[in-house]
Structure 1
Amino acid sequence: MLTHSTRRWLAGLGVAGAFVAAAASPAVAAPEAPIELGVYFSDTTIAAGSEGKIDSPLLFASEPVVVEGLTVTYDYRDLSGVVQVKPESSSFDCKSPEAGVLVCTDPFEIGLEEWAFGGLFEVALTPAAKAADGDTGNLKVTVSAEGLAPASHTAKLRIGEGVDLAAPGEETNISSAPGGTFSAPLTLSNAGKTAAKGAAVVFDLDYAIRPEKQYSNCTYEDGHLRTCAFDEVTAAGAARSVSLSYVLGKDTYAPGSEYGYYNWMTIAEFEDFNAYLQAGGISVGKPGNGPVLSLPEVPSKMGARGFQADTDPMNNWSGMTVKVTGKNGTDLVAVGGQLTGKAGDVVTASVGVRNDGPAALDFGRSGSPVTKIDIAVPEGTTAVEVPEFCAPLDGDQQDWENAGKPGAKLYRCYPDIFIGVGEKQLVDIGLRIDKVIENAAGTVTINAKCECEGFTEDLKPANDVAKILVNATGGTGGGDGDGDGGSLPITGQSTGLIAGLGALLLAAGVGGYLVAKRRRTRFVA
């Protein structure tokens, strides 16, 4: 379950399902318990008279399993006269055994994990010809496979009045030093022919970008801006805008670039989106402690409360690029350790990297790891417990086909994509002591020169190597004197799963692809 200390509150397509799995699946079963399937489908609001939306279920299992005969059944009998459900792809064998039921089967073996994924069994959700604003119904989605009990989830589908919310096509470019303040516009235009009865905006701001003020109609988590909701009615062809003030964190790496994006959605679509987050145990945060933020009307460059749905969600994005000026670097320090034991014992080495600042490293948008952690196993020991994000290393080539496999003498591990000042990221490796050797030494080597945008060098490369000592006699430390071990592989604000907003919106089915307009979203997670 995602903790509240997560710096980036949203996750990507594959990761997003993990939140759903965590909340929707039963508690972790005992080893002898049968494997259980799980499925989730997002609540969805569709504009009347539109071409509809495309979505797919999120599928998962209580433990990793390869299944045959994976089948998804869509029961939309409750949606008669409201929404039609049709297969989007011919890749699967889909049949309609009766009116209002669609059954799709994948003939190949499919691997399911405890984290969920989407993209399989996509369906087109199209409003019926006579569907009108306010119509609702339920879509029951059931997943089954050979030898496993089926699982079901019921989603709410509703018809709304079609509107076309839009954001400016151009982004804002700003320069600021760490600790500086700056402003950026938040602008909403109504590019359609129907008045928009309120609107909500979801923010995807890099960790360094923090709000200078709080507002009661916006939500915040750990001091970071998440969402705002507005009651103002925006007439067709009209526009509204407000300038928001931000602070660039003093721990921002410089020189470099930070990014912020926002996405508009209707009030009904935001309700769908929030339901998706809640299913995964994610909160949009708490209301701010300031006044109401208004969204004043401004001259528009555009031409021309029941439920409402956006007819063209691909134009809802805008954002800013902040060029970070000055120089504010990072000292990454290798963390070693000291272990003691007798022959036959399995001892745990908790080793890795610590950020001594003064800047945090944030590669959440690129998805790159902060650094590489190379672990050389001490003499006289064998690695018997290895995390799956560590692979045997031969020269500079890691063997990912054998990731997590015990027995190698050298491993390369990839930690998280964010590490704040003072934080550690530790890798737990179980070492069996085959022979007691005094001062048996291994090493932890970090490669701080990550191939990541904006990060050029480690301030103190001399401390990028630390020792792993087994049965030390002289009390010499683990390289940096920090051989204290640790119970968490990642500490501090990076304990959560981290990725971008764009893919999650698609995964949630909120403002998803139009059936006929399959343009790629301009946001890159």
Structure 2
Amino acid sequence: MLTHSTRRWLAGLGVAGAFVAASASPAVAAEEAPIELGAYFNDTTLAAGSEGKIDSPLLFASEPVVVQGLTVTYDYRNLDGVVDITPDSSTWGCETPEAGVLACTDPFEIDLYEWASGGLFSVVMTPTAKAADGATGNLKVTVSAEGLAPASHTAKVRVGEGVDLAAPGEETNISSAPGGTFSAPLTLSNAGKTDAKGAVAVFDLDHSIRPDKQFSNCTYDDGRLRTCAFSEVTAAGKARSASLSYTLGKDTYAPGNEYGGYNWLTVAEFEDFNAYLQAGGYSVGKPGDGPVLSLPEAPSKVAARGFQADTDPMNNWSSMTIKVNGKNGADLVALGAQLTGDAGDVVKAALGVRNDGPAALDFSRGGSPVTKIDIAVPQGTTAVKVPEVCAPLEGDQQDWENAGKPGAKLYRCYPDVFIGVGEKQTVDIDLRIDKVIANAAGTVTINAKCECEGFTDDLKPANDVAKILVNATGGSGGGDGDGGSLPITGQSTGLIAGLGALLLAAGVGGYLVAKRRRTRFVA
């Protein structure tokens, strides 16, 4: 089990892009503690006779470090005669020191962080011609670098029967008002020549799309539908379908659009995916308290045996768009602070934003509007500690190369991709009082203009600016704050991105980039 935090794990998955990567705060390491490397490789099920799959390890370190001679070694001797491992076309610097071992080295300097980085040293895993359904073995992946101790992770690799699960290619379009109920189909087709023995639907639904009813063979996290598992056998060339009822949350922003969809996995592929989630500290949730959801049309059921892997995952995804009618906006309020101290004192300011509703704001889809938090440091003070979610601002350009660097006079920070009604999100900045100046003032400005698309429909723009007052002589004007760091997620116990995006990172849904209407938010 990996020990780094959930938020750093997700950053490594590439789900939330540059913002999350910039915002993961390094842990304070014990003095003189050695830097430790880490690696993780997904458990993988391959279809016999297929071209295999491409994947790469997730690499990380116990604290940010620049490494030289980063090397990943793939030891697949335990898979002799079952699976071949070869470098992907994008991977170079590889050699085979002995049969069943592939070692790849990058001679250049590479930054490693506490969040896992993927995409380096990709390999192709191909079942051999004699690999049969049910064959298994282990792949040991070791990461090393100059001056650092190596670290290893062992992944399970299986070869199974090839099937071709498919979902409808056309998008489902629905209209609803906040609080309305609607239904959408859940359809599984078998586009191959082999019967599919069970299947699992993994859902990627915007926060506003909530199940109207629970089922015992589906899982839920914080009331949100995550997965549904079916044991029915879908015969080759056949299809089966059910209808799911949803409610659009009363806090849905309107007018606008909400998005959702589902992806089909074989039973074995879902086992691989679930192991990946658990390694990152995630869970697909708990079974619902309702009846069993069935996929009607074929009455016969048999227990799945052996392993199955999808030969064409490009056709597994189905999406829906809900056009949200009506008018339901949000009032974002800037949160400033009022501080006092003597010359030389360091005081902490909790600065940020609060959503007074009535609508929640979900910025988790790429291309969706975002809000920014611009912080102007008060005169007579110096920012001596700044979280990496904040970057120095020059004009309208944030300098992410120096994210978290003290000493700037103006910073731009980004809140979480979801801001619920009544939720406060603040970032702690330590200010050193260099000179006592009565009523020294700085500002917190939300919904700041920038070169990217911004959230411009605030119900009360007048409260988008709050003061940071140091040694005020009277009055407040600082706004109310809420201590604590700016959270990476508004709901710490839930998945902060849809499971569809995690599928993309897990290597079982890379096609989602092309299939989804929108990708995840990138700052």
The answer to whether TM tops 0.5 is: yes
Aligned to 1:490: 487
- Residue 395 (structure 1) aligned with residue 392 (structure 2): no
Q: Identity over aligned residues, as a percent?
A: 82
For residue 454 of structure 1, report the CA deviation from its aligned partner: 10
SS of the residue corresponding to residue 401 of structure 2 reads: helix
Aligned to 2:45: 45
Aligned to 1:361: 361
SS of the residue corresponding to residue 490 of structure 2 reads: helix
For residue 494 of structure 1, report the CA deviation from its aligned partner: 4.6
- Residue 326 (structure 1) aligned with residue 323 (structure 2): no
Aligned to 1:24: none
Alignment of 1:45-444 (within 5 A): 45-89=45-89, 91-297=91-297, 305-366=305-366, 370-444=370-444
Cα distance, 1:401–1:86 mapped onto 2, change above 3 Å: closer
Greater mean deviation of Cα atoms: 498-507 or 43-52 = 498-507
Cα distance, 1:359–1:45 mapped onto 2, change above 3 Å: same
Cα distance, 1:11–1:327 mapped onto 2, change above 3 Å: farther
Choose which of 503, 516, 521 in structure 2 pairs with 1:505: 503
Question: Would the aligned equivalents of 1:383 and 1:408 in 2 still touch at CA under 8 Å?
Answer: yes
Cα distance, 1:266–1:71 mapped onto 2, change above 3 Å: same
For residue 477 of structure 1, report the CA deviation from its aligned partner: 3.5
SS of the residue corresponding to residue 188 of structure 2 reads: strand
SS of the residue corresponding to residue 350 of structure 2 reads: strand
Aligned to 2:302: none
Question: Would the aligned equivalents of 1:365 and 1:500 in 2 still touch at CA under 8 Å?
Answer: no
Question: Would the aligned equivalents of 1:77 and 1:101 in 2 still touch at CA under 8 Å?
Answer: yes
Question: Would the aligned equivalents of 1:420 and 1:492 in 2 still touch at CA under 8 Å?
Answer: no
Offset from partner CA, 1:1-51 (integer Å, 9 cap, x none) = 777xx9xx9878325999xx9xxxxx9741311111100000000011111
Aligned to 2:24: none
Distance in 2 of aligned mates of 1:452 and 1:324: 24
Question: Would the aligned equivalents of 1:178 and 1:248 in 2 still touch at CA under 8 Å?
Answer: yes
For residue 485 of structure 1, report the CA deviation from its aligned partner: 4.0
For residue 116 of structure 1, report the CA deviation from its aligned partner: 0.8
Question: Would the aligned equivalents of 1:17 and 1:117 in 2 still touch at CA under 8 Å?
Answer: no
Question: Would the aligned equivalents of 1:371 and 1:450 in 2 still touch at CA under 8 Å?
Answer: no
For residue 501 of structure 1, report the CA deviation from its aligned partner: 4.1
Residue segments in structure 1 that go unaligned for 5+ positions in a row: 22-26, 299-304, 514-518
Distance in 2 of aligned mates of 1:201 and 1:164: 14
For residue 502 of structure 1, report the CA deviation from its aligned partner: 4.3
Cα distance, 1:91–1:124 mapped onto 2, change above 3 Å: closer
Greater mean deviation of Cα atoms: 390-399 or 107-116 = 390-399
Offset from partner CA, 1:431-457 (integer Å, 9 cap, x none) = 111111222221111126788889541
SS of the residue corresponding to residue 406 of structure 1 reads: coil
Query: 1:447 corresponds to which letter in structure 2?
Result: N
Cα distance, 1:36–1:48 mapped onto 2, change above 3 Å: same
Question: Would the aligned equivalents of 1:330 and 1:360 in 2 still touch at CA under 8 Å?
Answer: yes
Distance in 1 of aligned mates of 2:372 and 2:454: 17
For residue 373 of structure 1, report the CA deviation from its aligned partner: 1.1
SS of the residue corresponding to residue 210 of structure 2 reads: strand
For residue 261 of structure 1, report the CA deviation from its aligned partner: 1.2
Question: Would the aligned equivalents of 2:370 and 2:453 in 1 still touch at CA under 8 Å?
Answer: no
Distance in 1 of aligned mates of 2:109 and 2:394: 32
Distance in 2 of aligned mates of 1:506 and 1:327: 34
Question: Would the aligned equivalents of 2:263 and 2:317 in 1 still touch at CA under 8 Å?
Answer: yes
Question: Would the aligned equivalents of 1:384 and 1:432 in 2 still touch at CA under 8 Å?
Answer: yes
Aligned to 1:522: 515
Cα distance, 1:137–1:229 mapped onto 2, change above 3 Å: same
Question: Would the aligned equivalents of 2:186 and 2:243 in 1 still touch at CA under 8 Å?
Answer: yes
Residue segments in structure 2 that go unaligned for 5+ positions in a row: 22-26, 299-304
